[in-house]
Amino acid sequence: MIEEIQAKVLLSHVKQPDTWFGLKYNMNLYRGCQHQCIYCDSRSECYRIENFDTEVLVKANAIELLEKELASKRVKGTIGTGSMNDPYMPLEEEVNLTGRALKVIARFGFPVHIMTKSDLVLRDLDTLCEINTRFAAVSFTVTTADDELAKKLEPGASLVSDRFRAMKTLSDHGIQTGVTMMPILPFIEDDEENIRQIVEKAHAHGPAYIIPWFGMSLRDRQRAYYYDKLDKLFPGLRQKYERMFGNQYHCAVPNADRLSRMFNELCDRYGIATRMKRYEPETGIQMRLF
Ligand code: SF4
């Protein structure tokens, strides 16, 4: 079900410093996500998104709010989107909320970081190039190099191969792009071959960075949903998780150290950074010097 709602505010402040993406503000244009990744943390009770799997709420007044809020911001900090829902879920093709929001951001001259699992981001290539005169970065989340496995784990998202192709186009246009390789699911995606293939496929598509996390998070109703999916997709695996992780929230893959070493060696070999270059605002001193 898709429903329109009126939001009270759009931009939230991100706790500083944000060492991953350098965000100052975060923006959610939707509530709920059509990509339906089986491991999605947004199902957790703390976020209070009821009906995450059956309903998407569209913030119908988002553009109006964004204009008003950006007009009153003195600091041109990076605006992030894509952590609680995918800004390019299939619905976006018709609603164009992200596309319109980016145009507003371009007009106000703010930097942006987008996280997505969709090649629909290419629709907004021109706007992203305009934003990139200050700063634009796009991270594609990739947890497996295998399209068939991804269809099971992330059933509503673009094929991984399409995400990589979109990455190449953005990179060819000078936009900083890379991979958020997270989560890596224990006993499903934590084999050396998967990590090697992600790095090698990424390497062929111009990434500046790959940010890894060798594990996943599990809690309350999100864990229950994930375990239910494991029972259907990978019979017997739930019991292995229960034995290994109990009620743990952070669940590292058992071979995290070995995978991490291999990953770092590969990234060194291909000249891929393991952190994103973040937007640095011009300081008063720099402004005076130049
Ligand atoms: S794309 Fe992101 S927000 Fe959407 S279901 Fe997948 S993990 Fe959750």
CB atoms within 10 A of CB 50: 10
Tens digits of per-residue pLDDT, 60-81?
999 999 999 999 998 899 999 9
Cβ 42 under 6 angstroms from ligand 1: yes
146 CA to middle of ligand 1, Å? 18
Q: Which is nearest to 170 in space by CA: 212, 126, 203, 201? A: 126
Tens digits of per-residue pLDDT, 116-162?
999 999 999 999 999 999 999 999 999 999 999 999 999 999 999 99
Token representation of residue 264: 């770092």
- For 97, the 3-state DSSP assignment is helix
Predicted local confidence at residue 53, as pLDDT: 85
pTM reported for the whole predicted model? 0.95
Cβ 31 under 6 angstroms from ligand 1: no
- Looking at residues 42-64, what average pLDDT do you find? 93
Q: How far apart are the first and last CA of the chain?
A: 53
42 Cα nearest atom in ligand 1: 8
